[in-house]
Structure 1
Amino acid sequence: MSNKYAPSQIFLHWLTFLLVVTAYCTMEFRGLATRGSWQGFAMIISHFSAGSCVLVIMLSRILLRFRHRSPAILPKPPHWQTGLAHLMHLAIYVFFIVLPTLGILSRFYMGRTWWIFGIPMPVSSNPDPDFADTIADWHETLAPYGYWLIGIHAVAALAHHYLFKDNTLVRMMPSRRSRAKTSD
């Protein structure tokens, strides 16, 4: 068994990170764009696009978890740490599936055209703006908790690397390509 995750898992992990950063940045910085401007429109489309990609990638990552076993953590951590890690991963997966799903449903039930990567998405034939607003409120209320999940996840990975001196962080890092030495 390998001491690292499969390359596809590593790639999707870091792609998820970049897309989550994009989704959060477009949310946080949307106020810098004038409402109704092309910049504001670009922020909104970027937010919808990144969030939708996060949903698809998180579902793909679940499938990959069934296909590839997780590499062992060496030295082996105490059972309580392993249990806590599993709970944290479950929370991250559920959160980053539920949050974009709520965002998509709020747009769908609003009944107005919305876009992912510039492509118009379907809307409900029976729009319900009140329900859409409620779902959007849930989406906006839950979103800040993502900062905590990401922060705890990152701090735990760094603690494993620097304090516990195990291979937890290294298992998810991309491999460095070996460079052929050239003679002068």
Structure 2
Amino acid sequence: MSSTGTPHRDAARTPPRYSAASRRLHWLMAVLVVLAYILITSRSWFERGSDPRLFVVQGHFWVGIAVFALVLPRLLARFANPTPAIVPPLAPLTHLASRITHVALYAFLLLQPAMGMLVVFLERGGIPLGGLMLPSPFELNPHLAHRIEDLHITVGTAFYYVIALHVAAALWHHFARRDNVLKRMI
């Protein structure tokens, strides 16, 4: 509804929720991102060089690869279907903040796994695939790998806060503003 009490123009022309593919990919990727964080933060529970530590670090890497592999299908599903209108509509500044946060989230979903792969390529010379090795297109460069890994950690830490903001905003929309933002993704 608009401020005059009539239905919002855009709401009448768009579906009430994101497409099923967009919703599934959103929640799958959310679970994978949480899993990646759990795996990498749990590595300190295990002794360096131990099998359990290797398992959680490699698990973190492969979950990151899965996130990276799902970004393009998620973007395609997102842009192939109309975006459901937010009812009631957002104020322009709130809408801008939402856009910026979403661009940051998508950048994170692309850049974090890419940086992780780059670290492995530069440090290890390739990505192990069972008994095979996907060779690195780059020369070994442990110094650069370490610098990229530091950036990967810094960006990952910053995104704890962006993700928390995203979750808090969804809850604020649902419980305080009482609009349909969260309902569009469920």
Which TM class, normalised by the smaller chain length? Answer: 0.7 to 0.9
CA distance in 1, matches of 2:131, 2:111: 23
8 A contact 1:158–1:169 mirrored in 2: yes
Aligned pair 1:65/2:94, yes or no? no
Partner amino acid for 1:73? I
Query: Structure 2 length normalisation: TM-score?
Result: 0.86
Aligned to 1:144, what secondary structure does the other structure show? helix
CA distance in 1, matches of 2:177, 2:134: 47
Residue matched to 2:113: 100
Which structure is higher in helix share? 2
Residue matched to 1:179: none
CA shift, 1:132, in A, is 1.2
CA distance in 1, matches of 2:175, 2:132: 45
Residue matched to 2:152: 139
Aligned-residue CA RMSD (Å) = 1.8
Aligned pair 1:169/2:182, yes or no? yes
Residue matched to 2:4: none
CA distance in 2, matches of 1:69, 1:114: 38
8 A contact 1:160–1:167 mirrored in 2: yes
1:44-63 matches, cutoff 5 A: 44-63=57-76
5+ unaligned residues in a row in structure 1: which ranges? 174-184
Partner amino acid for 2:115? L
Q: 1:31 to 1:128 in 2, by over 3 A?
A: same
The count of corresponding residues between Structure 1 and Structure 2 is 173
Partner amino acid for 1:34? E
**Of 31, 34, 38, which aligns to 2:47?**
34
**Of 65, 78, 94, which aligns to 2:91?**
78
Aligned pair 1:6/2:25, yes or no? no
1:16-56 deviation line (CA, Å, top 9, x unaligned): 11110111011111011222222111101110011111112
Query: Structure 1 length normalisation: TM-score?
Result: 0.87
CA distance in 2, matches of 1:154, 1:162: 12
8 A contact 1:107–1:114 mirrored in 2: yes
8 A contact 1:23–1:51 mirrored in 2: yes
CA distance in 2, matches of 1:26, 1:160: 30
Residue matched to 2:37: 24
CA shift, 1:122, in A, is 2.7
Q: 1:94 to 1:172 in 2, by over 3 A?
A: same
CA distance in 1, matches of 2:17, 2:30: 18
8 A contact 1:45–1:116 mirrored in 2: no
5+ unaligned residues in a row in structure 2: which ranges? 1-13
CA distance in 2, matches of 1:66, 1:17: 19
CA distance in 1, matches of 2:168, 2:153: 25
Residue matched to 1:177: none
